[in-house]
A and B are shown apart, each in its own frame.
Chain A
Amino acid sequence: SQQGEEDPQALSIQEGENATMNCSYKTSINNLQWYRQNSGRGLVHLILIRSNEREKHSGRLRVTLDTSKKSSSLLITASRAADTASYFCATDYSSYKLIFGSGTRLLVRP
């Protein structure tokens, strides 16, 4: 399977702390994307990092990409209770096909 694997599967932190989620994949990619899914809802795109980029920021989000290790990390700084959700990495192997990982369930305790 070309599916990305996320680590950890579940993460529980206190509000204000940072949350780090990792994603590993198997073959070369065009880009890697992170999505968030609130319970009972569809996925929402958070950030995209291209294969020639190493780090990208968007607000409280920081994404890194290490193509030599075929891995990416998503850092959420100063977490809030509203960040509670599942987070998925998705790897883009072709012009359209995204392969989603199994997700990390994040719980931010108030």
Chain B
Amino acid sequence: GAVVSQHPSWVICKSGTSVKIECRSLDFQATTMFWYRQFPKQSLMLMATSNEGSKATYEQGVEKDKFLINHASLTLSTLTVTSAHPEDSSFYICSVSAVWGINTEAFFGQGTRLTVV
């Protein structure tokens, strides 16, 4: 299946600073990638759809100016959390969907744990 790698795996930043998270599709060219956020003991919440070469599509309630998404190549999407605050502390996960055999599977990165202090 597709291999998706996120970097960094964890990051601690000061309130008010910006943090960039990278999502790489190592062996698959992805025109579309997805970004999720997951709070402790909760489910994954889709934040936005990252589209290669065009603007991301954000889910309702997600601030596009707060969470900047760039998908400049078929193998890399980045999520930048701008002016981070403690309430932005969460587990951020990206995914790529690919046809694998007879199924369409979503392949997820290992996630990035962001802690804002």
A, B from the same assembly: no
Interfacial residues, chain A to chain B (CB-CB below 8 A)? none
Q: Which residues of B line the A interface, CB within 8 A?
A: none
